[in-house]
Structure 1
Amino acid sequence: MRIEIIGAGSVGLLIASYLIEQQTDVTLVKRQQYQKEQSIARTNIDGNITSDLHVSIASRPSSKADLIIVAVKYGQLQAVYPMLADIPVNIPILFVQNGLAHFEEALQLPQQQIAFSSIQFGAQKIEEFHVAHKGIGVMKVAVARGDLTSFTFFKKFSKMNFPIDFEQDAELMLLEKALLNCFINPLTAILQLKNGQLITENNPFQLLKNLYNEVMTVFPQYEKIIQFGQVVALCEKTAANTSSMLGDRLAGRKTEIDTIVAPILKKAALQNQTMPMLQTVYLLVKAFEESGEKM
């Protein structure tokens, strides 16, 4: 089994580490030039380090993969799409991004087998090839085009610390994750708090609840997808985590606010609805991006 992962950020490295650990032939596709072989290290939940996970490095995806996992952030996808258009159309592709903005874009590709993933585990990149597993969570997968059997082999890699589940509706799965992220990620980035502090500190908790109520007032149908208790539960489960958006702000990087929050604001505008609180949250994060502020 040969799996190629485009992107060697925290998520790509963590997925690669667990696949390699299970005797899978993994290639990381990176823009930077490296030796053709590297070794990944993973700091586990219990603090122990798993090392000597050997991975191949390439600059472009090949035509020999059994599966290609796209693990770059949304803002990097425009550079990835042309590479994917050049590979055989029968190679399955799994997209691992936050938000909804990439869903329709990815389905414009000629590939016959396209699936999407919703990541609920925590990962933090420590060094170029060292990643920390920061919180156990499910890697959900749903097929949007093609045959489910082209992806079901991926289920065999599921294990206690790296659970993998399959969902039926890819767009609904991504919407659920986008809603969770639009409540938690922007607030942690603005307030510079760990996820758990949103529910243990009074004022952040009230902000979280008000934001949830505003979204559900405009989209009452979303309450069937996600209840406030699920938001609280995720904060509890990832209490010690630094959200990806806060991590981006601390590093002075561009965040994923445009793929997580902007689509929800756009949906509201199409219904002639306003969302003042979510709009303010969006503009604050964008202002941090424009300033290039590093904390």
Structure 2
Amino acid sequence: MEIVVLGAGSVGMLITSFLSEYNDRVTLIVRREEQAKDLQHYGLLRKNLDGTITRNSINTSLDFSKISKNSLVIIAVKYGQLQHIYETLHTLDPSIPLLFLQNGLAHFEEASNLPQQSIAFGSCQFGAERENDTTVLHRGQGILRIAVEKGDALPFTLFSKSPNPVFQVEFVESAEEMLFEKALLNCFINPLTAILEVKNGLLVESPQSFSLLKKLYEELMAAFPKEMSKLTFSDVENLCRRTATNTSSMLGDILSFRPTEIESIVGAVLKLGVQRGKNLPLLETLYLLVLAKEGRSEKM
């Protein structure tokens, strides 16, 4: 089966790198011809956790509107780009399976209503950072969780065939539950690092940010006891320490003057809180502060 990865950001490049280790028919869709040429010439480089560098030869393309029926399409763009992509996805053959790898919950219902017969969602627990057009850094080992929302699960089992022990895949039952749990987890690191403009590890090293982190955990636990029951505060601490040198995606967006995913992550959690009659004053404050920083960045 051919694999088409749409999106040459950190997640798209890292997933492409791992998949191309055991499938020679992987194509990465990019937006710029210059990047396509560089990837064809130099290959896709992955800086591994142990300091080694892996080079993989991949196919590139600037157009994903003409994809063969014998393909699996992985959509690894951020939520804000999905609206432009849905139109093309509607034109693809309905038999082509789709896997969505976005943070947050906002895309769940939208993507589920596409005409494709098999649709799955993924939750990336690993760390990734795009260094340049041809190089991606594997920043932290973690699991790629996949949940099939509708259709046949068979096309997605190719992920379980990876020979690389650091590329671990786990299949779970509920896509919506999985995405909400990841959104809750993202509510801790992303907004705080974006506002304070610090790397993940500093959230547990500074007494003030550690206190904010703990108060946020208590607030989310009170609002969503069932969903938070699987997540201890130690898990949040360990995540910060395990990804201590990482720049969160939300902070990266702020520093690069790009729109963040605050609406699809924190906004979606706040919306669900309203539906359940729960107050989340600290989370709402962080949400508004990130929006304020976004507005400031847009004017610079």
Aligned partners of 2:17 and 2:56 also within 8 Å: no
Question: Hey, what does 2:264 align to over in structure 1?
Answer: 259
Q: 1:158-187: per-residue Cα shift (whole Å, max 9, x none)?
A: 621211111111111111110000111111
For the structure 1 residues 179 and 230, does the alpha-carbon distance in structure 2 shift closer, same or farther, using more than 3 Å as the test? Answer: same
What is the root-mean-square deviation of aligned Cα atoms in Å?
1.9
Distance in 1 (CA, whole Å) between partners of 2:164 and 2:299 is 37
1:183 aligns with 2:194: no
Aligned partners of 2:103 and 2:183 also within 8 Å: yes
Counterparts of 1:1-295 in structure 2, within 5 Å, are: 1-34=1-34, 38=40, 39-61=43-65, 62-157=67-162, 159-292=164-297
Shift of 1:98: 0.4
Q: Aligned letter for 2:57?
A: L
Aligned partners of 1:44 and 1:50 also within 8 Å: yes
Distance in 2 (CA, whole Å) between partners of 1:88 and 1:29 is 18
Structure 2 SS opposite 1:151 = helix
Q: Aligned letter for 2:18?
A: Y
Shift of 1:52: 4.8
Shift of 1:22: 1.9
Q: Aligned letter for 1:49?
A: I
Aligned partners of 1:4 and 1:65 also within 8 Å: no
Q: Aligned letter for 1:28?
A: L
Aligned partners of 2:24 and 2:58 also within 8 Å: no
Q: Aligned letter for 1:240?
A: T
Distance in 2 (CA, whole Å) between partners of 1:158 and 1:247 is 31
The count of residues paired between Structure 1 and Structure 2 equals: 295
Q: 1:28-61: per-residue Cα shift (whole Å, max 9, x none)?
A: 1223335576221111112222225332323124
Shift of 1:24: 2.8
Aligned partners of 2:181 and 2:228 also within 8 Å: no
Distance in 2 (CA, whole Å) between partners of 1:259 and 1:225 is 22
Distance in 2 (CA, whole Å) between partners of 1:91 and 1:279 is 39
Shift of 1:19: 1.3
* Comparing 134-143 and 215-224, the one that deviates more: 215-224
Q: 1:51-77: per-residue Cα shift (whole Å, max 9, x none)?
A: 253323231241344210000000000
Q: Aligned letter for 2:147?
A: A
Structure 2 SS opposite 1:24 = coil
For the structure 1 residues 131 and 64, does the alpha-carbon distance in structure 2 shift closer, same or farther, using more than 3 Å as the test? Answer: same
Query: What is the TM-score of this pair, normalised by structure 2?
Result: 0.93
Aligned partners of 1:40 and 1:55 also within 8 Å: no
Distance in 2 (CA, whole Å) between partners of 1:161 and 1:294 is 41
Aligned partners of 2:22 and 2:163 also within 8 Å: no
Distance in 2 (CA, whole Å) between partners of 1:14 and 1:68 is 15
Distance in 2 (CA, whole Å) between partners of 1:78 and 1:219 is 29
Shift of 1:237: 1.9
